[in-house]
Structures are given as C-alpha cells and as structure tokens.
Amino acid sequence: MDALDAVRRLARSRDGIVTLRQARAAGFTTHEVQRLCRAGHWRVVARGSYLVDADLYGGVPRRARIRAALESFGPSAAAVLATAAELHGLAGLRATDSIHLSVPGPTARPARIAHPEVVVHQLVIPSEQLVRVDGLIATEPLRTLADVSLRVDRFSAVSVLDSALNRRLVTAEDLLALPRLIRGRRGAIAARAFLAEVDGRAQSPLETRARLRCVDGGVPPDALQLEVRDDDGYLLGIGDLGWRGYQLIAEADGRDPHGLPDAVFADRHRQNRLVNAGWTVLRFTWQDTLRPDYIPWSVRQAMAAARHR
C-alpha cells in the first residue's frame, strides 16, 4: 500500500481528516502535503489538519470541521454546548456554523484555529463527564443538557430535553440529577422550570413546540402519540397530540418526514380513516408555532365544533 492509499484509508474513518503528523507517518513529506493543498487536492481545515481529496467534496463536511477544530487544540479539547448536542444527535437547537469547544488553561487561544466559526470556552468539566462520540471528545449527554439548558430559550431547552429522552440518551431518573449540575450557575432558576415540561414521547422539536403553544394557550393535550382504534381494535392512526374527550388530534407536519411523496399519501390515507371514524384532525407546521395564538385558537375552535356536534 502506498502513502496516498494509506492516508485515504485513514481519512475514511476520520470524516476525511488527517493531521500532518499522520500524513508524515504514512510517508508524506511536509512539502508534498503543501503541494497537494496548493493543487486543491487537499484542503487545510484547521492548523495541522487537512481534508483529503477535498476536490471531491462540494465543501468541507460539518463533521470534518468539528474534528479538525478539536485536533487543532490538542487532546484536552472537547466539544461542548450545541456542538456536543449535535454530535449526540440531539434535536431542538437552531442550526449554526459555530463550533463550540472547551479548552482548559492558556491553550484556549483563538489564533490556533484557521476558521472564525470556532467559539472557545473554558468550562470546568470532570473527566467522567466526557465521552467519545465516533472518536470525538464531547461532554456526555446529561452534562450537555445541563450546559445547553442554561443558555437557550424555553422552547429550545424543552425540545432538546425531549429529544434526549425520546432517543434514550438519558432517562427520566437521569434528569433528576440535572438541578445539581446547574446549581449556582447563571440561568439555573429558569432551567429548573424547563424540567417540569419535559415529555420524552415527543418525536420531534415541532411536536414539542406545538405542545408548549397549547399549554400556554390553556388547551394542553391530554395525550401524546395517541393511538386511535376502531371497534375491532384496528389501528386507524396515531396522533402526535390528542384531546380524547373531543375526538381531536393534531399532527405536527415536519418538512423532512412529511414532505416525501410516500409520506404525503400515507398521511392522507390515515387522516381519511380518522375523519371517517368521527375524529377531527388538525395539522400544524413549524411556521404555525412562531405565532403564539394560532395553534391554541385552532384547537379551541375544533373543541367548540365538537361540543356543538
């Protein structure tokens, strides 16, 4: 195996990234690495880190940027906050180009990184609160939730907490330790209140946001992921939010899962079955959750119609 094959094989297991040290260990000289970069075949992503075969990519993949940033700051660096949440697959936070790292001591110098999207923090993180996620060092899920919930708004905090429970990265018992992790930190009072609204049955941030709008509007659902069956026990459909006394369900129509043709047809067939069985089906989008009054108003109107019937 020649040097280039060896580096490519290594890069495939590391989001396309190799370090200068790894390239030299495979047989490249520093001059050869620089020549590959000048030719556009490789790309400098961070200090001493390169994207191999960069000309085959449309840009630098997100995971490659995170890996390169971490390696630029050395083995003591860890992904934190929204970046740690991203690595764990937690949903509910706004997408951003920023890469949040924590680096202890004087090594936390922005000049060490080649891109301005890196935000350096100096958090005190015990070693037992760090884990590897596909080879990348990050705060473990519970510590990540604690840090994030102190810094974001209520809707984002409850959404990411719901996501962690739904994906079984933490348990309800684990969350009982969260107040201890945030005690005495700025934002702790608000973050403790968020915990009372968490429900791991929510399958998306959109469902969480719709539920919170209903709670704020005085029409909280009495069921989540409500199974509706006919008299023979046949499953007609599952409603994201449900009000059983009114035979009313609400669906959170996310763009990705509900936008594909097969999903559209399935949603229509399910809705027809539910309507024919006497249920009212409301559908809400992300845009609807941006208006505080719209979702609860729609629910109240449907409740009034059900009472009239």
Domains and CATH numbers, the chain: 3-59 (no CATH), 73-195 (no CATH), 205-308 (3.40.960.10)
Quick check: 174 pLDDT over 80?
Answer: yes
What is the C-alpha to C-alpha distance for residues 161 and 257, in angstroms, rounded to an integer? 21
- Please name the residues in contact with 100: beta carbons below 8 A apart, sequence gap of 6 or more: 79, 80, 81, 82, 83, 84, 119, 121
- Please name the residues in contact with 286: beta carbons below 8 A apart, sequence gap of 6 or more: 206, 209, 254, 255
Tokens describing residue 56 = 């085959």
Higher pLDDT, 215 or 235: 215
Mean per-residue pLDDT over the chain, rounded: 89
Quick check: 240 pLDDT over 70?
Answer: yes
pLDDT tens-digit map of 181-209: 999 999 999 999 999 999 999 999 999 99
Instruction: Quote the percentage of the chain above a pLDDT of 90.
Output: 68
Mean pLDDT over residues 201-228, rounded?
95
Quick check: 214 pLDDT over 90?
Answer: yes
Quick check: 248 pLDDT over 90?
Answer: yes
What is the C-alpha to C-alpha distance for residues 168 and 166, in angstroms, rounded to an integer? 5
Check: CB of residue 284 under 8 Å from CB of residue 253: yes
Phi-psi region of 21 (alpha: psi -120 to 50; beta: other; left: phi over 0): alpha
pLDDT tens-digit map of 83-135: 999 999 999 999 899 999 999 875 555 444 456 789 999 898 999 999 999 99
- Please name the residues in contact with 236: beta carbons below 8 A apart, sequence gap of 6 or more: 228, 229, 230, 270, 273, 274, 277, 279
**pTM, full prediction:** 0.86
Rg for the chain, CA atoms, rounded: 24
Quick check: 139 pLDDT over 80?
Answer: yes
**CA dihedral defined by 169, 65, 155, 302, rounded to 10 degrees?**
-90
Check: CB of residue 253 under 8 Å from CB of residue 285: yes
User: Using the 8-state DSSP alphabet, how is residue 95 labeled?
Assistant: P
> Among 304, 302, 295, which Cα is nearest to 218's?
295
> Among 150, 145, 221, 240, which Cα is nearest to 190's?
150
**Could you tell me how many residues make up the chain?**
309
Task: Identify the pLDDT of residue 2.
Answer: 87
Check: CB of residue 80 under 8 Å from CB of residue 100: yes
Higher pLDDT, 229 or 130: 130
